[in-house]
Amino acid sequence: MNRRDMGLGVIVATFWGLNFIAIKLGVAEVPPLMLVAIRFLLVAIPAVFFMPRPPISWKGLFIMSMTLYVGQFGFLFLGIKLGMPSGLASLVHQSQAFFTLLLAVAFLKEKLHWHHLTGLLIAGSGIGIIAYEQNAGASALGFWMVLTASFSWGVGNVIMRKVTLGVPPFSMLSLVVWSGLVSVLPTALLSLVIEGFESWKVAYASMDWISLASVAYLAYGASLIGYGLWGRLLAKYPATTVAPFSLLVPVVGISSTALFFGESITLLQGAGSLLVMVGLMINVFGGRIFKFYKVQ
């Protein structure tokens, strides 16, 4: 990978890491599910008129969108609204890698290698420590919401692999745009049922430039620009080359929210976070390290 594309990988990770600042600012002013629905609307319109639909069935697109988009972002935004520190959420959210792995082994018959299992056990220990610490505080429900978001992301990843099996290559950005379109109505209906129409009126009346900037960043920065650049890298390089850049997301998330909001983590949360990062790194790089020493 050349330096320019390495720079693009860092830019994408930065966009996604700063995403957690935008979420926290957004849910402070707008009901979480309403914010998710607005995000999907802005992602889809007007881009959907200029991008072909991915070559998968409407049924497949709908099922995938309900988990990969509605479930993932709905639970994530609710978790941060309910008190989960946004920086820590950026790390716990990455546990999707292990949910994806386990679900792929169970339903797609993929192989579980030693480095996957080692990374899973280490990261799982870290998640357990963070859960213990969060359950001792007021944000226990927020933690479980974010973990559920990660699980929903993992389910969505496996469904996406299933529904795209054997189809012609397509743009990741088109998938984001069309999934956004499919997700708008279900998310809006969930918001109306759970949060109520009155909360919509209050949010609309009190919406300020911070709310507008947050939702604009979520839609255009994190979604369209972020996934657009990520798809461009995946089209040019193997996934094993591109995927490690996602490890920078929680680094950016934790550091930026600490600077912006003054968020701090306890000693136990720090230890748990370190274990999660080590587990993620073993999951991503363990196979390469084994091959290197085997050659030696």
Distance CA 252, CA 10 (A): 10
pLDDT digits (tens, 9 = 90+) for 2-54: 889 889 989 999 999 999 999 999 999 999 999 999 999 999 999 999 999 99
Distance CA 89, CA 130 (A): 11
pLDDT digits (tens, 9 = 90+) for 265-289: 788 888 988 999 898 888 877 766 6
Distance CA 32, CA 204 (A): 13
Model-level pTM? 0.90
Reduced to 3 states, what is the DSSP secondary structure of residue 207? Answer: coil
Judge whether 138 and 68 are in contact, CB under 8 Å.
no
Does a cis peptide bond (omega within 30 degrees of 0) precede residue 46? Answer: yes
Judge whether 154 and 93 are in contact, CB under 8 Å.
no
Taken as a whole, the chain contains a residue count of: 296
- Please enumerate in sequence order all residues whose Cβ is within 8 A of that of 160, keeping only pairs 6 or more positions apart, or say none: 64, 68, 175
If 0-12 CB within 10 Å is exposed, 13-18 middle and 19+ buried, where does residue 190 land? middle
